[in-house]
Structure 1
Amino acid sequence: MKTLHLLRHAKSSWSQPGLADRERGLNKRGRRDAPRMGAALATQVTAISIAVSPARRAQLTLDGLCQGWPALAALPHVTDEGLYTFASEDVLSWIQAQDDSRSELFIIGHNPAFTELINALAGRWELDNLPTCAYARLDLDAGHWREVGPGCAELAQTLLPRLLDEG
């Protein structure tokens, strides 16, 4: 049994239209949501090392998560070029290539890749859209990452920033 944790990057800024996509930062809502999600996830998920897209908005999302989740901040995280993709097939290939010594993976990345991946792995339509800074946990019926594929997952949990207390 493997577990996949997915977190879509927080809301990105479009204030500089000429900026390259991978260089866009977070807007005000994104900077607010990431620490709030970190604090909420800290009460529900064991902190593990995160693999993150090199896009600036994904990197800043990880920084925000760590602000709200001190145990996460203490861990090493990995930036992986292979996660700067909008295609679910690319993310699936990345997952299938991971070392089986890890029973859980936590990834920060992009849509539509994450929404499409969730629906494909569940083998049915689960989500219309994984919103920005939203979290999803999939329980996978696979003993090895290379076995992960369509229909092997149960969407076990979602957490959306809009449902968190303003606290």
Structure 2
Amino acid sequence: MKNIKTIHLIRHAKSSWDDPTLADRDRPLNPRGICTSRMMARPVHDAGCHFEQVFCSPAVRAQSTIELIHQSLPEIKFRWKTEKALYTFESDDVLRWCRKLDDEMSDIVIVGHNPALTDFCHQLSGVDLNNIPTCGYVKLVSVSPCQWKKINKKTFDLAVFLKPKRLMRTAD
């Protein structure tokens, strides 16, 4: 349906704290984060994320997460745009960024950080997930046709919530 908006949220995978001299923005993924990024690629795609319009925080851990997802889906050709505004821990920053999007886009992917993504999900859907875990995935779908500049509280339904640990348990 025209003007129905879909937002896919992907929290970056687990990052390394091995080098305390690195700035937060420069922290890489740890081995678990690398493995989880690869493992989550297919379930995220199968949940309806087709990576049409992908926007990513400039943080190394977020960039590495989407790069590993991309590598794990070789049949899906997609690119992403780095957005400085998505290096945030505040949901209101994510909301302001979304409200500036072109209405020609109806399906977007945001790769970012907590607590911004968890709070943003709660803000738009009213559903309290408590926490989107590292490399967790959420799909939000607008309850009715809307414009990006008018998205607001409880204007989206939570359609999918994938947690890596839960998927790993079911794969065993």
Alignment TM-score, normalising by the size of structure 2: 0.91
| Alpha-carbon distance in structure 1 between the residues aligned to 2:135 and 2:123 | 20
SS of equivalent to 2:103:
coil
Once the two structures are superposed, what CA deviation does each residue of 1:24-59 show, in whole Å capped at 9, x if it has no partner?
Answer: 000111000001111222323223231000000000
The reply to whether residue 67 of structure 1 matches residue 71 of structure 2 is yes
State percent identity of aligned pairs. Answer: 40
The count of aligned residue pairs is: 165
- The aligned residue for residue 136 of structure 1 is 138
| Alpha-carbon distance in structure 2 between the residues aligned to 1:71 and 1:148 | 33
Unaligned runs of 5+ in 2: none
Match for residue 56 of structure 1 among 60, 72, 77: 60
- The aligned residue for residue 5 of structure 2 is 2
| Alpha-carbon distance in structure 2 between the residues aligned to 1:159 and 1:83 | 21
Pair 1:55–1:146, CA change in 2 (3 A): same
| Alpha-carbon distance in structure 2 between the residues aligned to 1:71 and 1:12 | 27
Match for residue 85 of structure 2 among 79, 82, 85: 82
Once the two structures are superposed, what CA deviation does each residue of 1:97-140 show, in whole Å capped at 9, x if it has no partner?
Answer: 000001111000000000111111113x4211000000000111
SS of equivalent to 2:139:
strand
The reply to whether residue 34 of structure 1 matches residue 57 of structure 2 is no
| Alpha-carbon distance in structure 1 between the residues aligned to 2:110 and 2:96 | 13
Moved more, 3-12 or 155-164: 155-164
Q: Is the 8 A contact 2:124 2:154 kept in 1?
A: yes
Moved over 3 A (4+): none
The root-mean-square deviation of aligned C-alpha atoms, in Å, is 1.4
Once the two structures are superposed, what CA deviation does each residue of 1:67-91 show, in whole Å capped at 9, x if it has no partner?
Answer: 222244x222100101000000000
Q: Is the 8 A contact 1:121 1:151 kept in 2?
A: yes
Structure 2 counterparts to residues 113-128 of structure 1, below 5 A: 113-123=116-126, 125-128=127-130
Alignment TM-score, normalising by the size of structure 1: 0.93
Q: Is the 8 A contact 2:70 2:78 kept in 1?
A: no
